[in-house]
Amino acid sequence: MLSVEDWAEIRRLHRAEGMPIKVIARVLGISRNTVRAALAAEEPPQYRRAARGSAVDAVEPAIRELLRAYPRMPATVIAERIGWDRGLTVLKERVAELRPAYLPPDPASRTAYEPGQIAQCDFWLPDIGMPVGAGQERTAVHLPVLVMVSAYSRWLTAVLVPTRSVADLYAGWWQLLSGLGAVPRTLVWDGEAAVGKRRGGATVLTEAAHAFRGVLGTSIYVCAPGDPEAKGIVERANRYLETSFLPGRTFTGPADFNTQLGAWTALVNTRRRRALGCAPSERIAADRAAMLALPPVAPATGWRASVRLPRDHYVRLDGNDYSVHPGVIGRRVEVLADLDRVQVFCEGRLVGDHARSWARHQVFTDPLHAAAATALRRDHRALTAAPRPDEHQVEQRALSEYDAITAETPDADVDAAVDADADGGVA
């Protein structure tokens, strides 16, 4: 068989050097017919083994008949029906080759994202420990990072939130959307309990999710169980955070974590993505333009509660107690908290304001509240110690007056006088 090297040299000598066929044959020591065949071939010579028959060839017509009637019949059942008594490997290979001809075509759809249409959301739990104050430390299970990626531009935003509860999830979600400056038309989640679940092939949202999306004017889609490809973009973002953001970093607390995370996401959004052919920062303008505008009134997020302030003038939130001005003891107060602060209002007036703590079982007292409580307790003690102005004073006679009455009046008259005095001076 002519080698590829000889084939290439024959073509070069004939086309480039203009050498005749018989001269080429004499120089290379090959026949003229071999030279002519090499010049006529447009592809280099390849060794091809002659096809040999297979034992399956004899039963192929029977296999085709079965596949025509039952396109999805397993190869093991086909072997049983045709009486196959040899190895199954060669039969399975032939069935796999023949089966597509009897099945209806099922082309795979190619996923394409239009500007402004979809943003994928998920929680990432970094495998770290972090101090949160009061000598306490949280681990990965209690350090949820809310991640959101716009599908068209791959614009990445993320924030560490205190818990995965409804209050903190929606507060963090609104913070990410506010930072994005627009609302994607569909927000995708993967069965988060505070958002909703998949039931009977349809998305069933929580009441909080309906309230949130109603204010935004968008839709929320919950992926079916076992379908990670439906939000593969945010899953890859989570791995990117795990491998590129986390290694080599230390954090003094949640605020430091979010500061470093914000600086890192601002940087990676300017890096070129191979799948896009550009950086997310070059696509985000078109993405935002196709999204919905932020609502004029922000949705209600965070912790909200209405309680009657007890005598100890503290309210409890997420395992911690925060002081309130004692001047509103016994009155109804509104407790509002977001990711950073805890505020208490009474009839629209701010009566308590604290930085929110990520530690647990702590008591936070405003010095002004403590001083006011001390003054109110002092005033209360002084008020209760003094006699009441409306208290009825009853005059009591001196014993000497009774002695004088006894000396001058008979016994019967003395008894009448005493009885009259006991009755308020009425005989």
In the predicted model, is pLDDT for residue 187 greater than 60? yes
Q: Given a cut of 90, is residue 45 above it in pLDDT?
A: no
- Residue 311 CA to residue 328 CA, distance in Å, equals 9
Reported as type and span, the H/E element at residue 167 is: helix 166-180
Closest CA to 297 of 215, 208, 218: 215
- What are the tens digits of pLDDT across the range 245-261? 999 999 999 999 999 99
CB distance 286 to 115 below 8 Å: yes
pLDDT, residue 104, reads: 86
Q: Whole-prediction pTM value?
A: 0.67
> How does pLDDT run across 109-146, given as a tens digit for each residue?
567 889 999 999 999 999 999 999 889 999 988 999 99
Q: Which residues contact 110 (CB under 8 A, 6 or more apart)?
A: none
Residue 98 has pLDDT above 70, yes or no: yes
Name the nearest CA neighbour of 72 among 45, 95, 47: 95
Query: What Å distances lie between residue 392 and 100, 244, 388, 395, 424, CA to CA?
Result: 107, 82, 9, 10, 14
Q: Give residues with Cβ within 8 angstroms of 86, minimum separation 6.
A: 55
Residue 426's pLDDT band (boundaries 50, 70, 90)? very low
Structure-token pair, residue 49:
């083994």
Largest CA distance in the chain: 178
Please report which confidence band the pLDDT of residue 418 belongs to, taking 50, 70 and 90 as the band edges: very low
Residue 88 has pLDDT above 80, yes or no: yes
Q: Which two tokens stand for residue 238?
A: 């989570």
Percent above pLDDT 90 for the chain: 67
Domain residue limits, the chain: 4-40, 57-102, 118-290, 303-385, 395-427
Note the pLDDT of residue 267. 96
Cβ atoms within 10 Å, residue 296: 6
Percent of the chain with pLDDT over 70: 89
Check pLDDT > 60 for residue 40. Answer: yes
Among the residue ranges 60-69, 77-86, 198-207, 401-410, the one predicted with the least confidence is 401-410
Q: What is the distance between the alpha carbons of residues 342 and 310, in angstroms, rounded to a whole number?
A: 18
Distance CA(128)–CA(317), nearest Å, equals 25
Q: Phi and psi for 116 in degrees, rounded to 5?
A: 75, 0
Question: What is the average per-residue pLDDT within 47-65?
Answer: 85
Confidence category of residue 413, pLDDT binned at 50, 70, 90: low
Cβ 327 vs Cβ 372: under 8 Å: yes
Neighbouring CB atoms inside 10 A of 360's CB total 14
Could you tell me if 170 and 162 are in contact, meaning their C-beta atoms sit under 8 angstroms apart? no
**Residue-averaged pLDDT of the chain:** 88
* CA 262/CA 258 separation, integer angstroms: 6
Q: What 8-state DSSP symbol labels residue 197?
A: E
Question: Which tokens is 404 given?
Answer: 């004088």
Rounded Cα–Cα distance for residues 424 and 41 (Å) = 143
- Indicate whether 359 pLDDT > 60: yes
Which pLDDT belongs to residue 390?
Answer: 57
| Residue 52 pLDDT exceeds 90 | no
Dump the DSSP string for 81-136: HHT--S-HHHHHHHHHHHGGGGSPP-PPPPP---TTTEEEEEEE--S--EEEETTE
Angle between helices 207-216 and 166-180 (to 10 degrees): 20
Give the model confidence (pLDDT) of 371-412 as tens digits: 999 999 988 888 877 665 555 555 666 777 767 766 655 555
Q: Counting every residue, how long is the chain? A: 427
Fold of 118-290: Nucleotidyltransferase; domain 5 (3.30.420)
The confidence score (pLDDT) of residue 400 equals 73
Higher-confidence position of 77 and 381: 77
Burial pattern 316-328, b for ≥16 Cβ within 10 A else e, equals: ebbebebbbbbeb
Tens-digit pLDDT profile for residues 347-357: 999 999 999 99
The span from the CA of 396 to the CA of 80, in Å, is 121
3-state secondary structure of 341: strand
Q: Which residue is associated with the tokens 């009755």? A: 423
- Note whether 253 and 162 are within 8 A (CB): no
For residues 285-290, give the mean pLDDT: 96
